[in-house]
Amino acid sequence: MKNILASLLLVALSTSSHADSFDETLELAKQGDPSAQWFVGSLYDYGQGVPENDKAAVMWYTKAAEQGNLSAQNRLGIMYYKGLGVPKNDKKAVMWYTRAAEAGNADAQNNLGISYDLGQGLPKNDKKAVIWYKRAAEGGNVHAQHNLGVRYESGLGVRESDKTAVMWYTKSAEQGHPHGQYRLSLMYSKGEGVPKNDIRSYIWASIAKANGYIEKRQQNGDPLRPEVLSKEQIAKAQELAAKCYESDYKDCN
C-alpha cells in the first residue's frame, strides 16, 4: 500500500506544470492550508521529491490532522501505531483513527476495526470490530471487506453466515485483494456459502497466486492440487482465470 501511495504522489509531482511545485505547496502548508500540510507530510513520509523523513511527516500530518484533515488523521494514527517518527503509542493511534473514522474515513474505520479486533490501544471487542469493519466495507475499503468476510465465516462478533462471508470475499476479490481471492477460492472448494465448484475455486486461487498470495500448503486444502481437476478442466480454468484477470475482474463469470 505504501508503494502505491508513493507512486501516486510521484505522479502528482511529475505532472505539475511548475518545477518548484514542492516549494509552492510547502508555502501553502506554512500558511496553514490543511490539504497542503497533508500533501507535504505524505512527500516526507514516502520520500517523494524530498528525502524520506518520518519526523517531518509526523509534524505536517499533525498540523493537518488538528485542522480536521481525515487522511492526515488516519495516517498519523498509523505513524503512532508503527512508531514512525514518534514513539510507538497504540492509544494515540486509536485516538486519531477514531476521529477520522467517526467522520467517515473508510481507511480509518478499517484501522479502528483492526484495533478492536486485536485489542491494541483499547480493550479487544469483537462486536465493535465488526461494526467498524462493516462501515469501512460498505464504504468500499477492500481490506475491510476481506476482514468482514473472515468475521462472518468464523462467527466472531457476528452471527456466522457463510453466504455473507462469500458476498464480502467476492467484493474484496473483485477489487483485487489477494487474501479475499484466496478465501473465496476456499469457499468454492469446500462448498460453503456457495455451491461447490472446483473450477471456480481454481480460478480464484490462481489469480490470488498471480497477485502474490502465498498460502502454506495444507495436505488436502490446496485448490491448485493437480489431482482436483482433469487436464481439460485445468486448461478451461486457466483460460477463465486469464479472462477474469485481464478484464480487471469485470468478466469473471
Q: What is the pLDDT of residues 195-246, one digit of tens each?
A: 999 999 999 999 999 999 877 655 456 777 777 889 999 999 999 999 999 9
Handedness of CA 97, 102, 103, 105 (dihedral sign): positive
How do the domains of the chain map onto residue ranges? 1-103, 140-253
Under CATH, to which class is 140-253 assigned?
A: mainly alpha
pTM comes to: 0.88
Of the candidates 126, 151, 148, the residue with the CA atom closest to the CA atom of residue 137: 148
One-letter amino acid for residue 199 of the chain: I
CATH 1.25.40.10 fits 1-103, yes or no: yes
Most trustworthy range by pLDDT among 13-27, 136-150, 210-224? 136-150
- If one counts every other C-beta atom within 10 angstroms of the C-beta of residue 123, the result is 7
Q: Answer whether 184's CB lies under 8 Å from 164's CB.
A: no
Cα separation of 55 and 10, whole Å? 20
Fold equal for 1-103 and 140-253: yes
Mean pLDDT of the chain: 91
Residue 18 has pLDDT above 70, yes or no: no
Contact, 52 vs 10, CB < 8 A?
no
